[in-house]
Structure 1
Amino acid sequence: MRKLAVLCVGLLGLALLVGCGADKSAGSGGSTAVTAGPAPVSPPGFREQAPAPGEGRGQETDAVDRKEVVTGSIALTAGDPIAAAARVADRVREAGGRLDSRTEQPGTDDIDPSASLTVRVPADKTDAFVNGLGGIGTLTRVSVNRDDVTMQWEDLDARIKALQASVDRLRALISSAASTADLIAAEQALSSRQGELDSLTAQKRLLDDQVALSTLTIEITTTAKDSDEGPSNFWDGVVAGWNSLVDWLKDAIVFVGKAIPWVGFLAIIGGLVFGLVRVVRRKRRTPSAPSGLAQPTTVAAQTGAPDAPDSGQGDHQTEQP
């Protein structure tokens, strides 16, 4: 009995020791977790890529500062293309743009009237200007392209600033040159840098103009005519036949008028050829006439009969009676 009690006390003591050890290990683990909490640190690269305060406003600014070159092609139909072109030019001036080229083709019997314009419109007013063309005529085709040239513009701007700083330093060096050789070398370098700076400045000025003003090519033609399906009744047939007859007579008169000069020219050429042929034939006949007249003499000579016996025979015949 006493042994059993000692065994129970020993088991109870062992259980208490195990419980205390678990509590100590749990407590030490909790303190480790708390200590290790602030230990992880974000990598530098990730921190640089994280949004910074005010970055949203910077993105909006970048979007506003984008440099775009806007070009477009527009096809417009109107009853009077010439008048429509004048109205388009007025719209361009009202928008603060300019007209680079304007070509007009008045209508004729064979050619329909048309007009072509190349206009420059402020880039921020391009969409409103294109939509406003619908009040002048019917828009049949609209094509607008936007090319982002932000990187090109920034590159030109950075190169210009660097060259400008170099030019300023060279000018300062020229003003403080101690020898003629240094002065000549600095002037040569300044001339080269100044030429490159002027070229880049001109390129940037042209790019700024292309960014500020969009370029639009507008083609204006007449309204498409309905296809002629022919007359639908007797009277329309008579009118159509009369019109075709009048058109044929007009064409015939024009053809005769065009043919008269040719007929006169061909008549002159024919007369010259006829006269030349007669002259040639007359020349061929003239040398053959003497040879024909000489033939009777030749034949008489070939007979061999002298004239004297003939006369004597005539006398003899006279004496017989």
Structure 2
Amino acid sequence: MDSTTSRRARRTAGLLVSLAAVVAAASCSADEAGSRGAVPAAVAPEAGVAVPEGAGAAGGTGDKQARQQQEQVGAPGVDRKLVRRADLTLAADNVAEAADRVRSEVLAVGGFSGDEKVTDRVATMTLRVPADKLDAVLGRITDGKVGEVRSRGQSAEDVTEKSVDLESRIKTQQASVERVRALLANASSVGDVVQIEGEVTRREAELESLLARRDALAGSVALSTVSVRVERPDVVTAPREPDEPGFLDALAAGWDALVLGGSVLLRVVGFVLPFAVPAALVWWLARRLRKRSRLAPETAPAAQD
């Protein structure tokens, strides 16, 4: 009985030591993956997207910069991950029709429309466009046929390093999960099984979190966000008439004046208060001395009598 118990104890200790070794190896691998830094591999990039001819007449210098940027992104030996965004403001007489044309251009390239709010005067749209079709869509929207371009802006965030770091951490975590599962297969006691299963569950949860982050980042890279605002020309150019003040406005102005006056009064009191205390003490002492000086002549004749 004693020999059997000792063998089980040695086996349990061996499993615990192996589990500790796996934990230490996984932490060291994760530190090495983080310290290596993200260096993108030399992978052949996807073909660049050509900018349509109609966009050149409307964009001018902006289209030249877009072409230059596209050439840099598609340069040999570079595999960059870019999260691109664009903002457009258009002026059109028929806001609903212009919004429909913008939506049609996006749907034609495989994109989709997210949030939309369309009225007869203003329309706001949030669109998702495949990243490799973004320049082509922007060129067709801003060619002057949909509406007059009031403003246009683009931004690009390079997330290559973040993507490579996530991939490295995912591989490390997958290897760690496999090692702990191997320990679970060799566990012989209920206590060992429960302990190792808890470790497996924790590591699998971390792995799922990393996979979700990778999928979200890949979605942001694959689909660019385009925010479009379409307005009627009078909304853009018409000056806003000043509102005449009413009773509530006058009441609010009076209250603000009262608060301002009170704050000024408190500041004055706070400034004078340090000087008021010594001044009051001096005045009290002077008054006491004055009373004593008056009583002294009256008591002197009484003493002589």
Instruction: Give the TM-score normalised by structure 1.
Output: 0.48
What is the total number of aligned residue pairs between the two structures? Answer: 167
**Do structure 1's residue 81 and structure 2's residue 95 form an aligned pair?**
yes
How far apart, in 1, do the equivalents of 2:165 and 2:43 lie? 24
Q: Which one of 113, 126, 136 corresponds to residue 118 of structure 1?
A: 126
Deviations 1:44-84 (CA, angstroms, capped at 9, x unpaired): xxxxxxxxxxx898995542x20000012111111111111
For the 8 Å contact 2:91–2:236, the answer to whether it is kept is no
Give the match for residue 213 of structure 1: 223
**Cα separation, partners in 2 of 1:160 and 1:120, compared to 1, 3 Å:** same
Query: Which secondary structure does the structure 2 equivalent of 1:178 belong to?
Result: coil
Give the match for residue 155 of structure 2: 145
Q: Which one of 131, 139, 150 corresponds to residue 131 of structure 1?
A: 139
The 5-angstrom pairing of residues 148-187 of structure 1 reads 148-187=158-197
For the 8 Å contact 1:97–1:119, the answer to whether it is kept is yes
Give the match for residue 119 of structure 2: 105
How far apart, in 1, do the equivalents of 2:84 and 2:235 lie? 33
For the 8 Å contact 1:81–1:220, the answer to whether it is kept is yes
The 5-angstrom pairing of residues 271-286 of structure 1 reads none
How far apart, in 1, do the equivalents of 2:125 and 2:160 lie? 28
Give the match for residue 68 of structure 1: 82
How far apart, in 1, do the equivalents of 2:87 and 2:236 lie? 26
Give the match for residue 188 of structure 1: 198
How far apart, in 2, do the equivalents of 1:75 and 1:69 lie? 21
For the 8 Å contact 2:43–2:77, the answer to whether it is kept is no
Shift of 1:88: 1.0
Aligned partner of 1:210: which letter?
S
**Cα separation, partners in 2 of 1:62 and 1:187, compared to 1, 3 Å:** farther
How far apart, in 1, do the equivalents of 2:170 and 2:43 lie? 30
Q: Which one of 92, 95, 99 corresponds to residue 109 of structure 2?
A: 95
Query: Which secondary structure does the structure 1 equivalent of 2:163 belong to?
Result: helix
Shift of 1:199: 1.0
How far apart, in 2, do the equivalents of 1:226 and 1:91 lie? 24
Superposed structure 1 runs of 4+ greater than 3 Å apart: 55-62, 224-228
For the 8 Å contact 1:133–1:139, the answer to whether it is kept is no
For the 8 Å contact 1:99–1:117, the answer to whether it is kept is yes
Query: Which secondary structure does the structure 2 equivalent of 1:83 belong to?
Result: helix
The 5-angstrom pairing of residues 42-61 of structure 1 reads 60-61=75-76
How far apart, in 2, do the equivalents of 1:56 and 1:173 lie? 37
For the 8 Å contact 1:70–1:146, the answer to whether it is kept is yes
Shift of 1:227: 8.1
Query: Which secondary structure does the structure 1 equivalent of 2:86 belong to?
Result: strand
How far apart, in 1, do the equivalents of 2:107 and 2:200 lie? 43
Shift of 1:175: 2.1
Aligned partner of 1:122: which letter?
P
**Cα separation, partners in 2 of 1:102 and 1:193, compared to 1, 3 Å:** same
Query: Which secondary structure does the structure 1 equivalent of 2:110 belong to?
Result: coil
Same amino acid, percent of matched pairs: 34
Aligned partner of 2:124: which letter?
S
Larger Rg computed on CA atoms = 1
Q: In angstroms, what is the RMSD of aligned CA positions?
A: 2.5
Aligned partner of 1:91: which letter?
E
How far apart, in 2, do the equivalents of 1:83 and 1:222 lie? 12
**Cα separation, partners in 2 of 1:155 and 1:57, compared to 1, 3 Å:** closer
Shift of 1:206: 0.6
**Cα separation, partners in 2 of 1:226 and 1:145, compared to 1, 3 Å:** closer
**Cα separation, partners in 2 of 1:60 and 1:226, compared to 1, 3 Å:** closer
Aligned partner of 1:90: which letter?
S
RCO higher in structure (CA 8 A, sep ≥6): 2
